[in-house]
Amino acid sequence: MWLSLTVAALTVAACSETPAVVAQPRSLDFFKANTAIRKKVMAECKAAVGTHAYQPEEECGTASIADQQVARENYARERLGGK
């Protein structure tokens, strides 16, 4: 009896739960073009290290790679005299 009530309760709970909407991770080009958002995502990822509080995790890596590429491009542009 208890088993059937437990199964019924779990089934109802599972059915009534609204599935989480997962946003599509933003691209490398998006983060390269949007400095403020890139810096914000990187700060949120850094604050959430070890907690899995920031999702999607793919964006942490993508924002970091974009930041590195922008820094290299800016350095190269400075070295070439702004060309």
Convert the pLDDT of each residue in 23-47 to its tens digit: 788 999 999 999 999 999 999 888 8
The domain spans of the chain are 23-83
Q: What is the pTM assigned to this prediction?
A: 0.65
Task: Provide the pLDDT for residue 25.
Answer: 84
Is the predicted pLDDT of residue 22 greater than 80, yes or no? no
Q: How far apart are CA 49 and CA 65, in angstroms?
A: 17
Which phi and psi angles does 79 have, rounded to 5°? -65, -30
Q: How many residues does the chain have?
A: 83
DSSP H helical ranges for the chain? 2-16, 28-33, 35-47, 58-79
Convert the pLDDT of each residue in 51-69 to its tens digit: 767 666 788 899 999 999 9
- Most confident stretch, 10-14, 31-35, 43-47, 76-80: 31-35
